[in-house]
Amino acid sequence: MKLAWMDAGVAVGLGFLLAVSPAAAASRKDKEAVERLAARYHALNQFNGSLLVADETGVVLKKGYGQANMEWGIPAGPDTKFRIGSVTKQFTATLILQLVGEGKVRLEDPVTKYLTDYRQDTGSRVTVTHLLNHTSGIPSYTSNPKFGDVARDPFTVAAFVKEHCSGDLQFEPGTKYAYNNSGYFLLGAIIEKVTGKTYAQVLEERIFKPAGMKNSGYDVSATVLPKRAEGYDFKSGQYVNADYLDMGLPYAAGSIYSTVEDLYLWDQALRGSTLLSEELKKKMTTPGLDQYGFGVSLEPFTLDDGKTKLTAVYHGGGINGFSSFFVRVPEKKQVVVALSNVGRGARPRPLSEGVLSILNGVAPKQPLKSIADELSRILATGTAQQALATYQQLKGGKAGAEYFFGAGELNRVGYDLLRVGRVPEAIEVFKANVEQFPEDGNVHDSLGEAYLAQGNKALAKASYRRSLELDPSNTNAEKVLKELDAPEAKKAP
């Protein structure tokens, strides 16, 4: 009997192994492929931070790449805390939906019902839904070229709303999509008004505690926060400290810090009904204009073969010295969390696309060297003319196959020149980018900005008009053109 029992047990055990081994073996193979891909991104200075990958078997990989603090040589790990930028928006959307479920907020209500001091002529036409899905028409404060002048300054929520989130509507609410940080700042103010608590308190009580997210919070620069990553940019072939930003300004649009492990817990909480009912989750993930839901992007996620598309829920984040990408494929229980303490130069989204490709049996694209980094090294001591000559030489030769030549590359170089006052050279670079990508509305917008910095309004208007023709959703170009076309105020005698 004992032998028979043991035989039966062995048979059951073998059956169990046969049932799980294919998935376990696939996960091990995926882990090795993901590690090779992430290591390649890190070697090219395109990913420094922490990465978590999960599938239906659980966590496949969680690992740090590079350093959380470069000056002290402290390595990044799964428990390193990063600013997650606009990944914050899905948390803000969840808080609003919780209040909707409790009957304290209605999606169809105007902003002025909750923020009674907000300007009536615009706020009475903008609903909570418009704020959530970026269709409000309110100008986004981060699109204001002068925003950098106040980015270091502390503001109260009320003062910031009045000064930076109350502009004239750029279009009729609900008719267009335009990504908008002002809208999510206003949602934070609504949350505080309705609950009588700070946004940070509501986050902690309603999301972080129920989800078990002990290493997440609302970031305050003055707080001594254990295992907080320092923020950097990659410029001219080296890492530099990122510009300071008062964290009260991103607020409900981008001020959360978290870890890759905590964001996996966030995924787990969203799978169940701890935070939101199925009805409210459906509202959150129903695509609006431009395939955006409430705090999340819902456009089909294309893998690296250019053909395979997944039904995914995702968002990226970018804030001074930090960049992030968080993608969930609920049907397959796949999750990729890529958090980087490098802003400029980091590429967490392409890394995440490659990782998801691996999980779904698609060969990932290998990262290429950044041509922007190569040109930045030349510009450290040379001229824009020399840099552009190198650009053309590399692009036309065999060595160019090692480099990435996307439209964003020359744009990065142009803005670096613009920031240090090398305006004529910035214009040269932006003009070259327009020649390379004549149908890209964004590069025309950038050239227009450079012409404005030079004081050449006529050429600026021509560039912004072309940008708007190519991209009718470019509210920044629309706004600048209105300002340029407005009659100048009469000078006092």
For residue range 220-233, list pLDDT tens digits in order: 989 999 999 999 99
Helix (H) or strand (E) holding 8: helix 2-43
d(CA 215, CA 203): 13
User: How far from chain centre, in Å, is Cα 230?
Assistant: 18
DSSP string, 319-360: ETTEEEEEEEEGGGTEEEEEEESB-TT--HHHHHHHHHHHHT
pLDDT at 491 over 60: no
pLDDT at 353 over 90: yes
Over residues 467-490, the mean pLDDT reads: 82
Q: Which pLDDT value is given to residue 398?
A: 86
Enumerate residues 6+ apart whose C-beta is below 8 A from 138: 122, 126, 165, 166, 167, 169, 170, 180, 182, 183, 186
pLDDT at 490 over 60: no
Residue 279 tokens read as 């009805």
Where do runs of H (alpha helix) occur along 128-259? Answer: 128-132, 157-164, 181-195, 199-203, 209-211
Q: Please, are residues 285 and 296 in contact by the beta-carbon 8 Å criterion?
A: yes
pLDDT at 45 over 50: yes
**Whole-number Cα distances in Å, 225 to 65, 122, 221, 228, 364:** 21, 40, 9, 6, 36
Q: Which pLDDT value is given to residue 21?
A: 53
Over residues 86-92, the mean pLDDT reads: 99
Where do runs of H (alpha helix) occur along 144-205? Answer: 157-164, 181-195, 199-203
Query: If DSSP states are collapsed to H, E and C, what string results for 392-458?
Result: HHHHHCHHHHHEECCHHHHHHHHHHHHHCCCHHHHHHHHHHHHHHCCCCHHHHHHHHHHHHHHCCHH
Q: Which pLDDT value is given to residue 479?
A: 84
Antiparallel, parallel or unpaired: β 369-370 and 309-310: unpaired
Q: What single-letter amino acid sits at 419? A: R
Q: What phi and psi, each to the nearest 5 degrees, are found at residue 318? A: -145, 130
User: How far from chain centre, in Å, is Cα 224?
Assistant: 25
Helix (H, G, I), strand (E, B) or coil at 80: coil
Query: pLDDT class for 485, splitting at 50, 70, 90?
Result: confident
Mean pLDDT of the chain: 92
Q: Which pLDDT value is given to residue 306?
A: 94
Over residues 363-391, the mean pLDDT reads: 94
Residue 422 tokens read as 């090398």
Q: Which pLDDT value is given to residue 1?
A: 35
DSSP-derived secondary structure letter, 46: S
Summarize pLDDT for 302-352 with one digit per residue, the tens: 999 999 999 999 999 999 999 999 999 999 999 999 999 999 889 999 999
Q: How many residues does the chain have?
A: 493
Q: Which pLDDT value is given to residue 95?
A: 99
d(CA 372, CA 400): 13
Q: What percent of the chain has pLDDT over 90?
A: 84
Over residues 379-402, the mean pLDDT reads: 93
Q: Please, are residues 413 and 387 in contact by the beta-carbon 8 Å criterion?
A: yes
Look up the pTM and report it. 0.88
Structural domains in the chain, sorted by start: 82-359 (3.40.710.10), 369-485 (1.25.40.10)
